[in-house]
């Protein structure tokens, strides 16, 4: 079958692309420019891959040409959405592409691919689920029934870009569910809500400065050249995480499993603390021992009342299993050393 994949040049998108091609699917990758298409092509020489350039996903009918295909598309995976803080300077730059990009692709499917597209998979986020300080979530077990309580008014007014990012994911996802409820399209919707996504890159980056947001945080906080073992252990931030390879597999399964229809899945391997990340990096990558903060090795490093999340539905319904955290951070850290050396 044939799949349209947006955000195909991104960290998560590249892994999804890899798994789609690995499953012998025919894929059209949507990227913003020819140079980005060329970069994806260099990483994926497959003849089952072609490209569409959509320079502005907020433009009316942005995806209509990309969605026209012979043979037609059976499914669409929409991952494109801004997450790179260094590329964004105000709340609108998070909110607009996230929300309009989502509504444009759904409207486009209705206009030009309604006969063939049976399933749409959208990459949302735990950002659309968590409280993030808006209520007390000590000891809470999050499920896919939870929503971030933020309002659009608050998201437009806030001076916290993080809050604007999280709202962009909430309102983009909400727009998709609203679209399905009001338009009753022939396709069904599957939404995946990962928290922090970490792990090795499937795409090529020239230097650590080009890393995607989540892995850049690992690089900057744990293994940057300026660190020493005595540097303060970074704060835990959002301690829920998932390995990018497991998340990509969840996207593949979200296309394939009929019972997933119209379901929202929290996709997480669970909690990881800064101490655990530092311990893994120091133990697994000898070259990084001297510049990864040591903290108190062996301590779990999570508050007793930490919230957790229930990812059993994605395991049961989509058959996703989560690899051990050692693999995620060891593979990533080793690759970061290689990227540094090659730059
Ligand atoms: P990347 O920054 O690596 O990839 C983002 C993708 O979205 C790229 O293809 C990028 O294209 C595209 N994109 C970004 N901004 C725009 C825009 N304004 N207009 C059009 N396209 C845009 O990030 P990830 O791979 O990590 O993110 C992929 C998805 O996963 C996003 O929806 C993100 O919200 C979600 N997610 C990621 C998490 C993480 O920890 N990494 C956590 C939870 C959810 P270009 O290269 O041209 O900018």
Whether the Cβ atoms of residue 68 and residue 109 lie closer than 8 Å to each other? no
Give the residue from 127, 135, 136, 148 showing the smallest Cα distance to 305: 136
HSE-up of residue 216 (Cα within 13 Å, Cβ side): 13
What does the pLDDT read at residue 1? 94
Ligand 1 mean position, distance from CA 215 (Å): 12
- The reply to whether ligand 1 has any atom less than 6 angstroms from the CB of 84 is yes
Distance CA 125, CA 196 (A): 9
Whether the Cβ atoms of residue 20 and residue 41 lie closer than 8 Å to each other? no
CATH 3.40.50.720 positions along the chain are 2-198+241-269
Residue 54 CA: nearest ligand 1 atom is 20
Calculate the average pLDDT of the chain. 97
Residue 80 CA: nearest ligand 1 atom is 7
Please report the sign of the dihedral spanned by the C-alpha atoms of residue 168, residue 174, residue 175, residue 180.
positive
Residue 198 CA: nearest ligand 1 atom is 40
Taking the chain (343 residues) in consecutive chunks of 10 residues, what is each chunk's mean pLDDT?
A: 98 98 98 98 98 98 98 98 95 97 98 98 98 97 98 96 97 98 98 98 97 96 92 94 98 98 98 98 96 95 95 98 98 97 92
What does the pLDDT read at residue 103? 98
Ligand 1 mean position, distance from CA 179 (Å): 22
Superfamily (CATH H level) for 2-198+241-269: NAD(P)-binding Rossmann-like Domain (3.40.50.720)
Ligand 1 mean position, distance from CA 205 (Å): 15
Distance CA 241, CA 243 (A): 7
Lay out the sheet containing 270-271: strands in order across. 196-198, 240-243, 270-271
- The reply to whether ligand 1 has any atom less than 6 angstroms from the CB of 36 is yes
Distance CA 121, CA 62 (A): 18
| Residue in the block written with tokens 């699917």 | 25
Q: Which residue among 8, 38, 77, 80 has the greatest number of ligand 1 atoms within 8 angstroms of its CB, and so is best to mutate? A: 80
What does the pLDDT read at residue 58? 98
Ligand 1 mean position, distance from CA 228 (Å): 31
Residue 96 CA: nearest ligand 1 atom is 18
Lay out the sheet containing 26-31: strands in order across. 49-53, 26-31, 2-6, 75-78, 119-123, 188-193, 263-266
Q: Which residue among 83, 97, 126, 241 has the greatest number of ligand 1 atoms within 8 angstroms of its CB, and so is best to mutate? A: 83
- The reply to whether ligand 1 has any atom less than 6 angstroms from the CB of 194 is yes
Whether the Cβ atoms of residue 251 and residue 192 lie closer than 8 Å to each other? yes
Q: Which helix (H) or strand (E) element contains residue 142?
A: strand 141-142
- The reply to whether ligand 1 has any atom less than 6 angstroms from the CB of 12 is yes
Q: Which residue among 4, 12, 216, 239 has the greatest number of ligand 1 atoms within 8 angstroms of its CB, and so is best to mutate? A: 12
């Amino acid at each position: 079958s044939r799949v349209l994949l947006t955000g195909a040049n991104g960290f998560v998108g590249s892994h999804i692309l890899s798994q789609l091609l690995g499953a012998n699917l025919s894929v059209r990758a949507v990227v913003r420019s020819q140079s980005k298409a060329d970069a994806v092509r260099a990483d994926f020489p497959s003849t089952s891959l072609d490209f569409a350039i959509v320079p502005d996903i907020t433009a009316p009918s942005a995806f209509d040409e990309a969605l026209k295909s012979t043979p037609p598309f059976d499914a669409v995976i929409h991952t494109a959405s801004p997450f790179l803080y260094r590329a964004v300077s105000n709340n609108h730059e998070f909110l607009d592409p996230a929300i309009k990009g989502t509504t444009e692709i759904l409207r486009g499917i209705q206009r030009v691919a309604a006969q063939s597209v049976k399933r749409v998979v959208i990459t949302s986020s735990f950002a659309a689920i968590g409280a993030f300080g808006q209520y007390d979530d000590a000891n809470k077990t999050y499920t896919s029934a939870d929503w971030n309580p933020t309002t659009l008014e608050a998201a437009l007014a806030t001076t916290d870009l993080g809050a604007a990012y999280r709202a962009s994911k909430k309102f983009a996802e909400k727009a998709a569910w609203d679209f399905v409820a009001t338009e009753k399209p022939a396709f069904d919707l599957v939404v995946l809500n990962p928290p922090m996504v970490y792990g090795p890159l499937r795409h090529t980056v020239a230097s650590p400065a080009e890393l995607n947001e989540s892995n850049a945080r690992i690089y900057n906080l744990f293994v940057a050249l300026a660190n020493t073992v005595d540097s303060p252990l970074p704060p835990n931030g959002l301690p829920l995480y998932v390995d990018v390879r497991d998340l990509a597999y969840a996207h593949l399964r979200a296309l394939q499993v009929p019972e997933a229809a119209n379901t929202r899945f929290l996709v997480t391997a669970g909690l990881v603390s800064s101490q655990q990340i530092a311990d893994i990096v120091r133990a697994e990558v000898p070259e990084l021992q001297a510049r990864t903060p040591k903290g108190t090795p062996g301590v779990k490093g999570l508050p007793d009342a930490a919230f957790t999340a229930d990812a059993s539905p994605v395991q049961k319904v989509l058959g996703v299993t989560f690899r051990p955290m050692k693999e995620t951070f060891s593979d990533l850290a080793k690759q970061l050393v290689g990227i540094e050396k090659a730059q």
